[in-house]
Amino acid sequence: MCRILAFHVKGELDTQVLQAIRLSAEHDELSIYGGHPDGWGIVAIIRNGDDLSSFYYRSSKPIFKDNFFNLIHLEGEEITGILHVRKAGKSFLLGLPHAHPYHIRANGYDLFFAHNGSVNRKAFKDPLKPYTDSYMILEDIANYVNSGLDPHDAFKEEYSRVKDFASSLNSALLYVKGRQVKLNVLHFFDLNHMKEKSEQYYHIYCNENYCMSSSVASHLPCYNLERVPIGFKEL
């Protein structure tokens, strides 16, 4: 299992929030694994006036051992993005290619996706494909987009298709086309398929600028975060 942070802020990305996800990656009291050391990544789209720029970085290192993390300073009129720290479920799916957020292009959109949880591989057309279940979710979303669906509708379609096979689909989809930048967060878990020791591990907390995993929120008691219900949320 992994941890996720989605953000849509004005001005600067809060360093305290960044440090919170680093701390939860190094030591997570809610997880049976104790931490999330199997790589990390961040994507951000920065808007200044009519201009967009992007920042995209992934690493096989644990975030708490990657000195580059301490250099991150993002500012702009609007900053929209996703940060993810990973605990791999399968040892053969380790390394940089499997670090989230993933990226794929579909029908003129740049799609970035990160996911916490697991999906039974029976849900996919090619269950033996040597990619994570998270990447195969993104491939399915891209296929829906290529068929003509808006990315948000494609995200909903894939959720409906795989939710009965999933322990959790806590995830974020960032999509960009021209000057359009959108960020959708999905909160879903199934107690019958729960793999962690407590339900609390799967909870997602948000305020008007950030959505994050429960372990991350535990380091930010003064941030007016509220647990969100199952379903989709746009930041």
Q: Check: CB of residue 220 under 8 Å from CB of residue 200.
A: no
pLDDT for residue 191: 82
Token pair belonging to 219: 């380091």
pLDDT for residue 128: 84
pLDDT digit string, tens, across residues 13-71: 999 999 999 999 999 888 888 889 999 999 999 999 999 999 999 999 999 999 999 99
pLDDT for residue 130: 86
Mean pLDDT, residues 110-128 taken together: 91
| Rounded-to-integer distance, Cα 172 and Cα 211, Å | 9
pLDDT for residue 77: 97
pLDDT for residue 118: 87
Mean pLDDT, residues 89-107 taken together: 88
Q: Which of 107-111, 127-131, 167-171 bottoms out in mean pLDDT, i.e. has the lowest? A: 127-131
Full-model pTM: 0.95
* Cα 39 off chain centre by: 13
- Give all domains of the chain, ordered by start, each with its CATH number: 3-234 (3.60.20.10)
pLDDT for residue 92: 64
pLDDT band at 90 (very low <50, low <70, confident <90, very high): low
pLDDT for residue 30: 87
3-state secondary structure the chain: CCEEEEEEEEEECCHHHHHHHHHHHHCCCCCCCCCCCCCEEEEEEEEECCEEEEEEEEECCCHHHCHHHHHCCCEEEEEEEEEEECCCCCCCCCCHHHCCCEEEEECCEEEEEEEECCECHHHCCCCCCCCCHHHHHHHHHHHHHHCCCCHHHHHHHHHHHHHHHECECEEEEEEEECCEEEEEEEECECHHHCCCCCHHHHCEEECCCEEEEHHHHCCCCCCCCEECCCEEEEC
Place of tokens 């190094």: 26
Q: How many percent of the chain have pLDDT more than 70?
A: 97
